[in-house]
Each structure stands twice: as structure tokens, then as C-alpha cells.
Amino acid sequence: MTMLAEAVDAVIGIDTHRDTHEVEIADAAGKPIAAMQVSNDSAGFAPLLAAIAKVAPALRVAVCIEGSRSYGIGLARALAAAGLLVIECEQPSRKQRRGKGKSDPIDAHLAVLAGDDTDRQAARRTLSKTALAALAGRELPAQANREQAVRQAEITRLALALRQTRCQLKDNHAQLLAIVEDIAPGLTSRYCVEPVSAAQAIVSFSHPGRCRSG
């Protein structure tokens, strides 16, 4: 799986408001390059697009917007129309802001950090055997910072743990099926009766006469 740092030349973090937006432009590793404030209208969007084009002429850019469905909806549409990847980022937590106070430029910087890879998008997809192997074997880029290194280590740990758990569940499923077949041969061949539901039926039935019809 490709890291965002390998797929883009710059990351844009934007903290949106009713009248103006705070913007931070950073390189693919999250190092700040420039900061600016733009008005929340087409007159403000134009200079932002010009600044982005100057930093990344090929428009290999990921834009992380806090509030893309509220104050930032117009900007999000304009950036998407220009062919840029637009990502909605979560509002910075109190822990992230602790000791810093409320700062729109800080929020813009945190928006950059919130979108420095594609892990969130990957987590929303089906985690198949192939996907887990790719996540576990993914290598960090040479310029990876500490946050990226810690995140990747945790992703690797979770991917390996999930893969192992799936193997254990598969073995457990096979064992349960064998036990059910020994106790009630042919039960799992009935429509919609899986080993787990069959085992529950056996446990609930307990002995002849316990369950009565009508």
C-alpha cells in the first residue's frame, strides 16, 4: 500500500470559519512550508489554488479540511473541481490542544497531521487476507517522522493480531462443526443452520422433552 508521502508533493491543512479560512501548506512529510489566510469566497479560493500550484505544479496534493460539510463546503467543492484530493479531517481533540489554547493556525497544522497518510481510508475497506498482509508488510519512507513510525508499528501489530485471530476462529469453527456432527449428525445440513447456531440449539435442547411444540 502506498503511503501518502509517496503519492503527493504537498499536504494542505485548512481550518474553516464563516468568513475566512486558515491554511497551512506542508511538504509530504508534514513539514510546514507556508501559511496564509483566505476569504471564504471565490476571491479567496483563487490565490489559494495559485499557491498550491506554485508548491506542487503537478497538483499531487492532498487537502485536509476541518468542516468540509459546513463552512468549508464551498472551498471543498472548488478544490475538488480543480482536481485535488479533498479529505475531511476530524476536529483536534482537547488533548492535542492542551497547553496551546485555541489557535486557528494550530488547527490548520493539525489538519495537515490528520491527513498525512491513507490509513483512515484503508480502514474503511474490507480487511481481506491480502489487505492485512499489505498493511503488515508496508515499509516506512526514508523521511518518516516519529508519529508516522509509531502509527505504522501499531498498524503492523494490529494487522498481525487480526490475521492470527482469524486463523484461530477458523480452527474453532472446524472443531465446533466436528462436535456438532458427532452429537447431531446432519443438523448443519439444514437450511441456515451453521455450527454456532447448531451448537446453541443443542445446548438449549439439553434433553428430550425439554422443548415442546405449540
Give the model's pLDDT for residue 97.
Answer: 45
- Asked if residue 137 and residue 103 are part of one domain, the reply reads no
Q: Minimum mean pLDDT among 142-146, 164-168, 209-213: which range? A: 209-213
**How far is C-alpha 86 from the geometric centre of its chain's CA atoms?**
14
- Asked if residue 144 and residue 40 are part of one domain, the reply reads no
* Rounded CA Rg of the chain: 26
- Asked if residue 132 and residue 201 are part of one domain, the reply reads yes
Number of domains, the chain: 2
Spatial distance between the Cα atoms of 2 and 67, rounded to a whole number of angstroms: 26
Give the model's pLDDT for residue 98.
Answer: 47
Q: Which amino acid is at 197?
A: S
Rounded average pLDDT over 35-50: 91
Give residue-wise pLDDT tens across range 47-102: 999 988 888 777 788 888 887 778 888 998 899 888 888 887 755 544 444 444 44
- Asked if residue 94 and residue 21 are part of one domain, the reply reads yes
Assess if residue 213 is contained within a domain. no
Domain that holds residue 147: 126-207
- Asked if residue 177 and residue 130 are part of one domain, the reply reads yes
For residue 39, pLDDT beyond 60: yes
- Asked if residue 77 and residue 37 are part of one domain, the reply reads yes
Assess if residue 149 is contained within a domain. yes
**How far is C-alpha 139 from the geometric centre of its chain's CA atoms?**
18
Task: Choose one of 125, 159, 177: the last residue of a domain.
Answer: 125
Spatial distance between the Cα atoms of 163 and 140, rounded to a whole number of angstroms: 21
Task: Choose one of 125, 145, 162: the last residue of a domain.
Answer: 125
C-alpha cell read off for 196: 454456532
- Asked if residue 155 and residue 196 are part of one domain, the reply reads yes
Assess if residue 203 is contained within a domain. yes
- Asked if residue 146 and residue 114 are part of one domain, the reply reads no
Give residue-wise pLDDT tens across range 94-126: 444 444 444 555 555 555 554 446 555 565 567
Give the model's pLDDT for residue 206.
Answer: 63
pTM above 0.85, yes or no: no
Task: Name the pairing type of β-strands 61-66 and 32-39.
Answer: unpaired
Spatial distance between the Cα atoms of 153 and 138, rounded to a whole number of angstroms: 10
C-alpha cell read off for 8: 503527493
C-alpha cell read off for 111: 489538519
Beta strand segments in the chain, E: 10-16, 20-27, 32-39, 61-66, 85-88
